[in-house]
Structures are given as structure tokens and as C-alpha cells.
Homo-oligomer: A and B are copies of this chain.
């Protein structure tokens, strides 16, 4: 081997005293005898041989790279997902390309073109883009949004989460429940939180009401609504379930402005399980999304070799965590 040039597979074969094909097998994860494998790896290490992953990608048609599409990376739920997906992929020997698309509606479609161009092996996407076209040939796992039966969707058990919120509020003495929702126009799995809330209230015979707004409405209508439901210093509701922790945080401030105490006068449950500073306490009592399991499941489905019988929707169990806005013993 010449000095100053990068070693090749041939150099490794010579050093290890094996056939070139054996070296190739080792670096393409094709089984060879352990003794041969050892000799090849030792020789490769000695020579400082590095697999040229471009040449490798060309041959195997695999890049070992998965793209994660998120609206942004700063929202704490998205940030936690990015962290978990990245770690899960690393454990599977894969790298994660990240695309944040909030400010660029074309970015998601560009991501899909990357797969077609062989730049990534597949995509895990959490997208609010209703027009996204996902070719059936592309390994794609959608988080929180159901496209069609051919695109596996992984989500929290949002319906069950709505039921769980009611159950926890009822157990803590609430009898008149309110559901507050703010979110995007595009339908998604999180919409089922309201269905779970209503079903559980009906099953328990609890008085309930819901106010569901769109992002563009802003938070002000909630303030107006709450104010109009205070009489003699008391709110008409003793338990409120908000569709996100963020909304619960705002609602808590609105209630304070109205002179109402949380949790003494009104109990409050949010959804998501967002933690202060990413890993500290919860903002409020909340239905916690299983972020680690969402990541794990998404990666497993994406990397599944047999793509002939994939599920169309997987809902993962949520849990309740007290966070100071409910009367927990």
C-alpha cells in the first residue's frame, strides 16, 4: 500500500490474507466465519481503512439515514420527539436528518424527493400539510396524523387520554366539566381528545361543555367565555380539561385574573406532559404522551423489512401525572 493514499478494500484483503470477496462480505454484513471477520476488521483498523459510504450507498441502495420532519424543533413536545427519535435511530445504527418545515411549505415535499433520490431510507413525519403527497413506494411513518391506510400512523391514545382526564377529574370530586381546545385546522389524531372527554362524561352522567377554537382565533375567546361563566365569585365548572399543557397554562393565568384558585376552586388537567426546561417538573397536572415509545414504535415500523402487512394506526397508552393543578392526595 502506497503511503499517503487512502487504503482500499484490496489493501485490507492483502493485509488480512483473505480474498477480496471476504472483505466485501464483512463490510456488507454478509455472514463469514468469525475468524475471517476478525482478521478483516483487525486489518482494516490497522490500515485505517474506512468504508466509503457513498460507494456503499450506491451498491446497497441504503443510506442508513432517516429523515425526521417536524413543524419546528423548539416546541417542547417536538423537541422531546426529536431527541427520542435521534437516540432510537442511533441504537439501530442509523443517522437522523432533521427538517423543520414550519416556515416553508415546500420543505416537506422536498424531503420526500430526497427519499426518491436515494438520500435517505425513509421518513418519520409530523406534518400539518394537508396536501402532502406520499408515494406508496416510500417508507413513511406519520406521527399524530392519519393520511390513509397505506401510511402507518403512530400516535398517543388520544381518545383514551380524554377519558383518563375525565376519570381523574371525577375521582377528585369534579362534577361539571369543561373541555377547552385550540389547534390547527388540519384534522389529526389529537382531535380525538375531545371525543374521549365527551364519551367519558356521558358514561359517568357528568354535566359537560366544550369550547373548541382554531389557532387563528387566539386565546382571547377563552377569557371571554370563562368571565361570562363566573357568578357570585364561582365558575360554572369545577373541572377543566385543556387539549394542551400550553393552553392549560394560559387558562390557569386567566382563572387567577378572575380571582379563582387552582386547584381549590377549579381543577385543571392539560395534555402532552411538557416539562419545564425540557426535563424538570410538569407545568400542570397532565395526560403524558409516551414520547419514548412513540419514537421507538415509529422507528421500528419505518425500518421493518417486510412492508406487506404494516398497521395503519398504532395508538400508544398515555398516563396521568399530577402537577399541582388538581387535588392529588
Interface set of A (CB-CB < 8 Å, partner B)? 50-55, 57-58, 63, 65, 72-76, 78-80, 82-83, 86-87, 90, 95-100, 103-104, 107, 113-114, 116-119, 245-246, 249, 274, 276-280, 283
Contact = CB atoms under 8 A, between A and B. Distances in A.
Shortest Cβ-Cβ A-B pairs, 5 listed: A79-B79, A73-B83, A74-B278, A73-B82, A54-B57
A100 to B, nearest CB: 5
Contacts of A86: 73, 98-100
B58 A54 contact: yes
Nearest to A74: B278
Nearest to A86: B100
Contacts of A274: 277
Given A53-B118, A75-B279, 4 more contacts: A52-B118, A54-B54, A76-B79, A83-B100
Copies of this polypeptide in the complex: 2
Contact of A76 (B50, B114, B277): B277
Contacts of A57: 54
For A74, A114, A249, the residue with the greatest tally of chain B CB atoms inside 10 Å of its CB is: A74
B99 A97 contact: no
9 contacts: A54-B63, A54-B118, A73-B73, A73-B79, A74-B80, A74-B279, A86-B100, A274-B277, A276-B276
